[in-house]
Structure 1
Amino acid sequence: MRVLVTGGAGYIGSHTLLELLAQGHEVCVLDNYANAAPDVLDRVRALSNRPLRDETGDVRDRSRLDKIMDDFAPEAVIHFAGLKAVGESGTNPLGYYDVNINGTLTLLQAMQRADCKRIIFSSSATVYGEPQYLPYDEAHPLNPMSVYGRTKLMAEQILTDWAAAQPDRATVLLRYFNPVGAHPSADLGEDPRDTPNNLMPLIAQVATGKREALQVYGDDYDTPDGTGLRDYIHVVDLARAHLAALSYAATQSGARPFNIGTGQNYSVREMVQAFEKASGRKIPTINSPRRDGDVAAMQADARRANRELGWQATHGLDDMAASTWAWQTKNHNG
């Protein structure tokens, strides 16, 4: 299948590229490199030993998208391109609405002109908001607590309405939880620009001495150790979920959301302990106030994905920590 991957040079996108190429798909990447580096695609080519087409451009650029659609004629799109930091979204709401909503609209319009009818959307568990019950299933009320989460929910609704407008369109909404870890080669991993927004890269930077201590945002939650609980998922498992969703979309129509997680949650302190075990180094911590938009606990009910996509997470916490440490030690500067 010919697959266009927007934001494919990013953390999750690059791991998904490897899975796509391993299954023999023909792939084209569109990325503006706002949060990624072009040499990531060289690493993907080397690891896969397969050709990969790449285009530099923004998902909001109509003429660029039309040209790619005309030249590549994708049969499906996997849509990663977007801004993703909860805290930043509150200080830059217009930027987040522009990229995440306008970008999705522009992409769908280009797909429609090219008669491309299948899309896998990289959504987020933040669409659920404060849990009314745990684990979250796909029927849980949707009430995001951040601008970022609201842009994801709005994009989901746009994609759902687009799919409903014609009987042969398919949209798969992957609501995933907290991706961590790295490729077993240690040649692909999370390489955030500036200050990381996610927990694991921050822990890794403390372990390598780039940071003196890890700031723990909130130690007074109603959880066993007072720190936030999250359902962490290994990035390779997450990439494989996108492949399962692509296969599903090839034979289905309409829009369908799926939770992609392990069904287990771990606290910040448990993640620190796992990384200390993997690295053999002490991770100092400093308690800081809670951040706006954070909830006390998140946990996935992933049974729908297990049942309907034939997908299941296979990597545990020790592998998440060990693969992150291998990536960090092999790539000190990303």
Structure 2
Amino acid sequence: MTNFKIPIITLLLLFVGTNISFSQSSWEPQTNITGYISTEINYFDELEGYDLNYSAAVSEAGILMSYQPKSNFRIKGVFVYRPKFDIDQMLNEAFGELTISEEINFKAGRFLLPLSPTNTYYYAPVNTSATLPILVTNHEFYPVTIDGGSFNGSIGSEFKVNYDFFAGGFMNSTWLRTGAVRFFGDEVNYFKDQIGSSATLDPSYSNTYNFGFGGRVGFSYKSNIDVGFSTFKPNDQDVPLLIDVPAGALGPNSPATQIVQESLFEKFSYGVNVKFQYNNTKLVGEYWYSDLKIDGSATDLEGGFVELNHRINKVTPYVRYEDQKTADVDYKRYTAGVNYKPSFTKTFKLEYMRYEHSSGDINGFVGTLIYSF
């Protein structure tokens, strides 16, 4: 519970203060509750070390609640069930937001980071693809959510400059498994096993907390073009690494074993993201780079994707290319799919994907049925 004290207290204080300050204004409080259930089918042709190469399951079940007691203040909460996630990981958003003007807004609590426009489409019903980009699911460059505060706004009309600066704490959650087979989010560990990598993050890392700050500055013209520049700087942190020790390394007759060794991680991430839209055609892309030092030794992390989609009435075909480089693992993913949305309540997605890596290629299919309410 400790991790929730600061954002929840801040949220309550902001709510009480705002209610007092604007109690004289005439406004009808507004409440909105929506949700969805996403059922997913996965099939992979060449997975090793998994009990099944195919599976069907409820991959997500989310509920969004918002309450707007005043015209310039709202409270929002989003809770998303995902198999084998703990409660803290399922609470995606819980914040209060005060709007001074279009140019100045304040947010406090837990919220999705504004560093990637893809986070806008983090939830299944509004994400064109059946899968999120690796850039988001692997958390290599920044966490998905943060417990803290944000100062944001936009300036201009047709041509806009928008900004969002934030700071706060977050739970380290690198490589969380998702999907019916639970392969997504675990690609780095999987390929590390394939090449016999000598070190990876120890699972205990996911139970640690860190702090960071960053922001995004974007430039847009109408709804046609948006270009943004983002940075994120977490605090330097001792990170537990799981090291494979070969037989004989600890003594003449010592067996092969694994040990946990803490190393100092110093990281600074920065990226650029773009969106071009013309009528029903949209192109989005991102590239991120991290200067990472492990005990003073430099390691480059790189990741990016580009996605093209075109809506034809209720059908949206799409293609995506991704590339991820992390320490000793470098792989690519190609995706092609179709999104069919006959109504607000129903969405169908079907996509083919291909992973390319030096240890061997993997082909897979993902089918998703989403019911929204």
For normalisation by structure 2, the TM-score amounts to 0.24
Structure 1 or 2: larger helix share? 1
Higher relative contact order (CA 8 A, sep 6+): 1
**Larger radius of gyration, structure 1 or 2?**
2
TM-score (norm. length: structure 1): 0.26
